[in-house]
Structure 1
Amino acid sequence: MELKSNHRTLFCVVITFVFVCFSYSQNASVTINANEKIPEILTLKKKLETENKLSDGYTIQLYYGELKEATKVMKEYQKFFDSWPASIKYETPNYKVWVGNFNSRLEADRARIEIKNKFPSVFILKPDRT
């Protein structure tokens, strides 16, 4: 009996020692060396996205024709809507008023339905962003 008790005690001591050895924690620190231009690049990316220059998405065209009328249409649009940015694009020989930068056709369609109440001739297009 005494031999079994000694083996049991020895076994418990060994197991405890093993757990203590493996549970020893280590301290570590992480140093991140980031390029200082990252915030500048992110700002530029946001700017390009708002100007519709990075997206492969859809846009809504309100008008095409002369600059004077395009400016008038854009101002009229901005009176009623501020959800989507509007811009005037020039493509020889016409100026175009484009609205929004939509990731999907569904998003563009929802906006078109809303805008169509004030501008009945609007349509969705997928511009070539070159």
Structure 2
Amino acid sequence: MIKPLIKLSYLAVLFFSTSLTLHAQQGVVSIDQDKEIDQLLEYKKDLRTVNAFIIQIFSNSGTTARSEAQSTRSKATALFPNWSSSLEYEQPNYKIWVGNFRTRLEADRALMEVKKTYAHAFILSPRNNK
């Protein structure tokens, strides 16, 4: 009775030790795609057809509002070079919008950064994207 147990345990140890030495196969994947696909992806990235979130950092009306808006936009462009900025005019207010975020989470993270400079900034989702 002991001899079959010894043989079984020997086989189990042998099987276990050989399974440790096995390795998965290594492979290399190469992708061959048309170069126009990259151009199309860049084009679609620039389109504002999705519901995006933006951050408004400035809104003012009055006689000096346009010059204030332009200086605020140039300052915002220097502070946040990775985000687009635009000067919008909705009568009688000039507004500066920064960024174009796909999700609310991205916009919230960016707002934390923007609020260090512009305390009254807030997130909005414009109805008419260009």
TM-score of the aligned structures, taking structure 2 as reference length? 0.60
Rounded to whole Å, the distance in 2 between the matches of 1:123 and 1:89 is: 15
Alpha-carbon distance, 1:45 to partner: 4.4
Larger radius of gyration: 1
Q: Kindly state the Cα deviation for residue 119 of structure 1 after the two structures are TM-superposed.
A: 1.1
Q: Cα RMSD between the aligned structures?
A: 2.1
Per-residue CA shift, 1:15-57, capped at 9, x if unaligned?
Answer: xxxxxxxxxxxxxxxxxxxxxxx88x9476454x2xxx42311
Give the SS at the match of 1:54.
Answer: coil
Cα distance in 2, alignment partners of residues 44 and 129 from structure 1:
19
Corresponding pairs, count = 88
Structure 2 match to 1:57: 52
Partner of 2:82: 83
Contact 1:58 1:124 in 2 (8 A): yes
Moved over 3 A (4+): 41-47
Pairwise CA distance, 1:62: 0.5
Query: Could you list the runs of 5+ residues in structure 1 that have no partner in the other structure?
Result: 1-37
5+ residue gaps, structure 2, are 1-35
Q: Distance in 1 between matches of 2:92 and 2:49?
A: 24
